[in-house]
A = this chain, B = another copy of it.
């Protein structure tokens, strides 16, 4: 009989999540079993908690949620040669088919048959999770576990931000949630000439400034198009990194894009929006790039390099450290809904959490935050 573990389960087709005792997953010949040390909450988890339209169409309860984590390999399938028990790993949460056109041509991040950990299959808000060894990403042993945990959203930011070369360029980041804030840090590390940002929530505006934004504008208070045109001597920006999915922010972003500019779109509008293709793309000769997931595994190598070299400092964006308990998870969800947090990390072990908090206070501040 399978051993049991605690896991945060979307048990039925309704709002909320609950901790249940479930079987520890078994593994196939090419899988790994990982003991979770820390897991962080993503905006996707908020959608699933809320049981919104997207969740209703995608999630098939019961399913264990969560896809951002760092943990220890405790068991590997018989054909696994790339990791061994004891390894400290995170996971690329896109399990891909390996056989479609995209997978066979180096574009598996847009696989036609993707299955996502914590969405389409059991995830990491649990003591253990199982996934294909191919998706395991080996972390440096001394990497803080909460850094390991947030590599998935960090990777979204890296994929978006480094999808073009922005050294010596002017950049606009629309939307300063965690990924937007990370994009600001990364753009600064990449030598952007100036980084403008738009955001409405005071907590995030303040974080955006700390992260290295040249100036942050609140569209509820000022005319951001006028302000940023002024700041760029009427030229507009070279690069737009769209992180909000908000129709108004998208409109402003494209209005500010220079002729010949580049826009990377990561934010997801909830529905089709009115869009001025003629003026915003055609006449401008603009280039627009849709961004999905993380490039496998180019983005992970880039992320490791940026974190290891200290070029990007993520501590200030990890704002809450909680034990893995139902009430703490709920608290995290509430903070996120209010826009009053950076990343919320859940630790499976109290001693590990306290050690993480202590080490963090002792780390030097790094280059990218004031």
Once bound together, how far apart are the Cα atoms of A247 and B231, in whole Å? 35
Once bound together, how far apart are the Cα atoms of A258 and B295, in whole Å? 17
Query: Which residue of B has the minimal Cβ distance to A296?
Result: B104
Query: Which residue of B has the minimal Cβ distance to A193?
Result: B305
A226 sits at the interface (CB 8 A):
no
Main secondary structure of the interface of A (DSSP, over half): loop
Q: Determine, out of A202-210, A262-270, A358-366, the stretch whose residues face the partner at the interface.
A: A262-270
| Partner pick for A291 among B101, B164, B282, CB 8 A cutoff | B282
Please tell me if the beta carbons of A284 and B292 are within 8 angstroms of each other in the complex: yes
For A296, the chain B residues whose CB sits under 8 A away are 104
For A276, the chain B residues whose CB sits under 8 A away are 271-272
Please tell me if the beta carbons of A287 and B287 are within 8 angstroms of each other in the complex: yes
Please tell me if the beta carbons of A168 and B306 are within 8 angstroms of each other in the complex: yes
17 A-B residue contacts at CB 8 Å?
A105-B106, A105-B301, A107-B285, A162-B167, A168-B306, A190-B191, A193-B311, A265-B277, A265-B282, A266-B282, A272-B277, A275-B277, A282-B292, A285-B290, A286-B289, A288-B288, A288-B289
**Residues on A close to B: CB < 8 A?**
29, 79, 82, 99, 101-102, 104-107, 109-112, 158, 162, 164-165, 167-170, 186, 189-191, 193-194, 235, 245, 250, 258-260, 265-278, 281-292, 295-298, 301-303, 305-306, 308-309, 311
Instruction: Add 7 more A-B contacts to A165-B165, A167-B191 (CB < 8 A).
Output: A104-B296, A105-B106, A109-B285, A162-B165, A267-B282, A281-B288, A283-B292
